[in-house]
Amino acid sequence: MLLVIFAVATNLGVPSYALMTSSKAPEIKSVKCLDGKMKITWKKAENAVGYKLYKKNGSGKWALLAEMKENRLSYEDSAVKDGVTNSYRLRAVYKKSESAYCNFSRIYMSVPKLKSVTNTASGVKITWGKCNNATQIRVYRQLEGRTNWNCIAKLSGSAVSYTDTKAESAKTYTYKVRQINGEVFSASQKSGVSLTVIGTPKSVSVKNSPDGVTLKWSKIPSVYGYAVWRKTENGSWKRIASVVGDSKTSYIDKKTAYGKKNSYKVRAYLSAKKYGCFSESVSLYSVNPKKPMVALTYDDGPSSSATSSILDTLEAYGARATFFVVGSRVASYASQLKREAKLGCEIGNHTFNHTTLTSASSNTIRKEIEDTNRAIQKYSGKTPALVRAPGGAVNQNVKSVVKYPLINWSVDTLDWKSRNADSVIAEVKRSTRDGSVVLMHDLYNSTAQATKTIVPYLIDEGYQLVTVSEMMDAKGIRLESGTLYTRAS
Ligand code: ZN
């Protein structure tokens, strides 16, 4: 039997004096944001014959949304907009009375528009449309074959993309995104977007070798193989090889364009011929290991006119040389140093103060080398790999303290002594062989003058004019720190 009261406290504690209002308000179970609608569910009110749901309209008045039979315990409101708060009230209807209202309101948060899920060099990139009313965005991931979803990122409400760096290569994941406002979560996409991850090869290196140009890269587990691409100066990228097997992480290019600058990049692929992203490209001047070669070296610079003139000659003939620079001069001739690097020449370390290392303390030796490397790095962006001791003076202590290969020479032009171009040219013509390291100094105009003859002469004789490191690589000589080299043979 229904108890009829004329004045009763509602569950909100506000007295209600409506006529024939009976019993307490119905109890709301949940108010959830779904895709394009708000779903309201409530508990069954005993003896009720139905329910009435009202919604506050734009002008602040209550409008009846639905009148429902007693077996309906939920309602879906499709008239919702992202970020807009909806106010509702629900009452139970009895045979001869109606209950108090249960008032409640909830902001509606729409499902974010998932735009793309793609493999990138740094991971899987997920993008979605901007959520204007979100205080937080959450990204979820599910591994193929699993049922659980993991929240992998909690981002600010303004975020529109996220890169998943922890996804494993050759595995398939599905991604979803939700927006949140305070305690209210939007629904997520019905099915999300799936993607098979393909990692990007890292630490790609390229080197001349006696067999051709050797490329190496990091292993990407479980991929089918790798595609190797090459671009020759002024040309376009071409796929030159497929390497099958995830642990085959090197390739020797025997058809490289010798004498030219070549760039390489690598990408992994799955058996389904799905390709990952390209690695960073790496470049080198390809040296033909089967043709003779010479390393011209210039010490004691950089200087203004001599260095510039020598670089003009090298550039005109597409030749390269190695400059063993004095650290204290680098800041003053930074533009020459930068140009050496830009033309593909090698920059070596010739100490900071042109100090004779055999009569210096170990601490002084270390400081001379490190200060110079820092200066070269600062002004050219290159880190020297080679040291030439002033005067070529090397003893056991120098070898043990200097943590770099020490490079002397096999052809001494004595250009510093003669200051005579003809005598420099004559010595080069007389003594140069395949694998020679020729010593000159880019301080003297006579040396710059001699270079104008030496470079075309050696090229006509069939020599490749290469840097010290290029020559050693092409001849298969592995340079060790603390070891003295005078030529490549
Ligand atoms: Zn010197």
Contact of 144 with 171, CB cutoff 8 Å: yes
Rounded Cα distance between 199 and 270, Å, is 10
Nearest CA to 120 out of 9, 276, 293, 349 is that of 276
Distance from Cα 350 to the centre of ligand 1, integer Å: 7
3-state secondary structure string across 249-311: CEEEECCCCCCCEEEEEEEEECCCCCECCCCCCEEEECCCCCCCEEEEEEECCCCCHHHHHHH
Regions of the chain short of the pLDDT cut 50: 1-19
CB half-sphere exposure, 353, CA atoms < 13 A: 9
- Say what the pLDDT of residue 489 is: 82
pLDDT tens readout for residues 299-318:
999 999 999 999 999 999 99
> What residues flank ion ligand 1 with Cβ within 5 A?
299-300, 390
Rounded Cα distance between 479 and 191, Å, is 57
Rounded Cα distance between 313 and 336, Å, is 14
Nearest CA to 9 out of 20, 23, 19 is that of 23
Distance from Cα 323 to the centre of ligand 1, integer Å: 11
Show the tokens assigned to 285: 């001047």
Largest CA distance in the chain: 126
Residue 189 makes CB contacts below 8 A (sequence gap 6+) with: 111, 112, 114, 176, 177
Nearest CA to 375 out of 332, 339, 311, 323 is that of 332
- Say what the pLDDT of residue 93 is: 96
Contact of 469 with 330, CB cutoff 8 Å: no
Distance from Cα 416 to the centre of ligand 1, integer Å: 10
Contact of 322 with 465, CB cutoff 8 Å: no
Distance from Cα 291 to the centre of ligand 1, integer Å: 30
- Say what the pLDDT of residue 273 is: 79
Distance set, CA 94 to CA 49, 55, 91, 103 (Å): 5, 21, 10, 19
Mean of pLDDT over the chain? 94
| 3-class secondary-structure state, position 355 | coil
Contact of 196 with 269, CB cutoff 8 Å: no
By annotation, the residues acting in catalysis are: 299, 441
Give the type of residue at 101: Y
Distance from Cα 390 to the centre of ligand 1, integer Å: 4
Contact of 198 with 224, CB cutoff 8 Å: no
Rounded Cα distance between 301 and 444, Å, is 10
Distance from Cα 313 to the centre of ligand 1, integer Å: 22
Distance from Cα 287 to the centre of ligand 1, integer Å: 28
